[in-house]
Amino acid sequence: MGPRLAGSPGDRAAVAWGQALLRELGFSKVRAEEVTVTAWERGVETATVVSPYPQKLVVTALGGSVGTPPEGITAPVVEMKTLEALEEAVKADPDAVRGKIVFFSRRMARSGEGPGYGANVPMRSSGAAKAGPHGALAVLVRSIGTSTSRFAHTGSTNYADGGPRIPAAAVSNADADLLERLLARGPVKVKVVLGCRPLPPSTSANVIGEIPGSEKPDEVVVISGHLDSWDLGTGAIDDGAGCAIAIEAARLIAEGVRRPRRTIRVVLYANEESGLAGGKGYAARHAAELPKHAGAFEADSGTGAPLGFSWSAADTLEPALAAVAKLLEPLGAGTLRKGGAGGADVSPMAPAGVPLFGLRQETGRYFDFHHTADDTFDKIESPSLDRAAASVAALAFAVADLPGIHALPSSESR
Ligand SMILES: [Zn+2]
């Protein structure tokens, strides 16, 4: 399908493709459940150092960002390591960023070596919202990724209701390094041109197909990934891989000698990347049915080897999970960790106490490609993907075949 930005022609084509594939594989009740999604268009995106010397920068607009005027914005750059640094700077001098382009520069570390993805995302998601009210003209954010190449990392940004809306773009790590070096030597002026613009809300859909349970067909175990992607690459690892894992896991279960007691429901969610409309829409539309959800699995960590699962459910589930974990050891996926929300798309089911399971995968190179133009099909590791699908199939079968549902009381924290 190519890129599948929510509400785009590629996204609509993927919804049709998903239904056709699930029908071809023999799934029951194949359908598309419509949801309203945010829509946005990228357009041109260029940036250039104007002084001390001309130099092109690799940038990419952040999802949801407004554009610049056609002639762009040319202004001095002021570096802030973090959102907290911005707060302190404007406390000391209310004009610290007025008339300037704010450059958020803290680097994302590879796992365990420092602030990781989650710690740095707020600079991307709310940097523009925080800098705008202090008179900043635009925001550049160091890519929240580990690529050392000149690939800029997109992702959504949000404005405060009623607040100023200033353009926001990510700059590749290599170019962020350049800006830091130049800024260490003296004043730097940059020109940014962004043609992006938010579009009116559009329609997409969660694609669903089922394998009916043998004894309790009205009770459900969800296996899922998200169908939408960013638009720079083809969204092969985020989250084409997760969709493939979900579909293949369900297909393996259907092929087995015995069907589990409960229904396996594959859900390919809409619009995870910019608003979570699919995940929220599923939880709302199926609210009455959530007490009959014995589990919800999500795969949204790329194509790496399976390591195990995070899980949130009543403690009474632990012995059954421990028994299955032994079976997962040969796949390398035998480590189960209690806690977590399973994944973004299934997390809206948490308040209803639905047991949530997140597939944990090897992510050593995931953030080299994630949300960049380098997220393309050649990155797919087929053997790991097979093992990931087998792991999800085994644990989902076990949960779908348990005598009872181990819902987490909604008051309990995950
Ligand atoms: Zn994803």
pLDDT in 10s for each residue of the chain, 414 residues: 899 999 999 999 999 999 999 999 999 999 999 999 999 999 999 999 999 999 999 999 999 999 999 999 999 999 999 999 999 999 999 999 999 999 999 999 987 778 999 999 999 999 999 999 999 999 999 999 999 999 999 999 999 999 999 999 999 999 999 999 999 999 999 999 999 999 999 999 999 999 999 999 999 999 999 999 999 999 999 999 999 999 999 999 999 999 999 999 999 999 999 999 999 999 999 999 999 999 999 999 999 999 999 999 999 999 999 999 999 999 999 999 999 888 999 999 999 999 999 999 999 899 999 999 999 999 999 999 999 999 999 999 999 999 999 999 865 555
pLDDT score at 110 = 86
Residue type, 72: G
Q: How far apart are CA 56 and CA 178, in angstroms?
A: 11
Q: How far apart are CA 205 and CA 270, in angstroms?
A: 6
Q: How far apart are CA 370 and CA 60, in angstroms?
A: 14
What per-residue string of b and e applies to 97-115 under the rule 16 or more CB within 10 Å gives b?
beebbbbbbbbbeeeeeee
pLDDT score at 411 = 58
Ligand 1 centroid to Cα of residue 144, in Å, is 14
Tell me how far CA of residue 230 lies from CA of 252, 260, 310, 324, 400, in angstroms. Answer: 29, 35, 26, 35, 33
Residue 237, CA atoms < 13 Å, CB-side half-sphere: 28
Domains of the chain: 9-39+200-400 (3.40.630.10), 43-195 (3.50.30.30)
pLDDT score at 173 = 98
Ligand 1 centroid to Cα of residue 301, in Å, is 7
Ligand 1 centroid to Cα of residue 49, in Å, is 32
Residue type, 83: L
Ligand 1 centroid to Cα of residue 216, in Å, is 31
Ligand 1 centroid to Cα of residue 19, in Å, is 20
Q: Which of 216, 310, 304 is nearest to 265 (CA)?
A: 216
Q: Which of 336, 272, 279 is nearest to 306 (CA)?
A: 336
* DSSP state for residue 352 in the 8-state scheme: G
Q: Which of 310, 298, 355 is nearest to 335 (CA)?
A: 310
Task: Judge residue 118's burial from the number of C-beta atoms within 10 Å of its C-beta, 0-12 exposed, 13-18 middle, 19 or more buried.
Answer: exposed
Question: H helices within 224-294, ranges in order?
Answer: 241-255, 277-285
* DSSP state for residue 162 in the 8-state scheme: T
Ligand 1 centroid to Cα of residue 185, in Å, is 39
Ligand 1 centroid to Cα of residue 238, in Å, is 5
**pTM above threshold 0.85:** yes
Task: Judge residue 135's burial from the number of C-beta atoms within 10 Å of its C-beta, 0-12 exposed, 13-18 middle, 19 or more buried.
Answer: middle
298 in Cβ contact with 266 (< 8 Å)? no
Q: Which of 343, 353, 339 is nearest to 279 (CA)?
A: 343
Q: How far apart are CA 393 and CA 250, in angstroms?
A: 6
The helix/strand/coil state of 1 is: coil
> CA 310, 315, 321 angle in degrees (round to 5)?
55
Name every residue whose Cβ is closer than 8 Å to that of residue 136 and which is 6 or more positions away in sequence: 97, 98, 100, 101, 102, 166
Residue 317, CA atoms < 13 Å, CB-side half-sphere: 28
Q: How far apart are CA 124 and CA 44, in angstroms?
A: 19
316: phi then psi, degrees, rounded to nearest 5: -60, -15
Q: Which of 170, 173, 89 is nearest to 130 (CA)?
A: 89
Q: How far apart are CA 339 and CA 342, in angstroms?
A: 8
Q: Determine the distance from the C-alpha atom of residue 245 to the mean position of all C-alpha atoms in its chain, rounded to a whole number.
A: 16
Q: Which residues are catalytic?
A: 272
Q: How far apart are CA 69 and CA 120, in angstroms?
A: 28
Ligand 1 centroid to Cα of residue 47, in Å, is 27
* Integer-rounded Cα radius of gyration of the chain: 22
The helix/strand/coil state of 278 is: helix
Encoding tokens for residue 144?
Answer: 């929240």
357 in Cβ contact with 399 (< 8 Å)? yes
Ligand 1 centroid to Cα of residue 250, in Å, is 20
End-to-end C-alpha distance for the chain, whole angstroms: 36
Ligand 1 centroid to Cα of residue 48, in Å, is 30
Encoding tokens for residue 201?
Answer: 């809300």
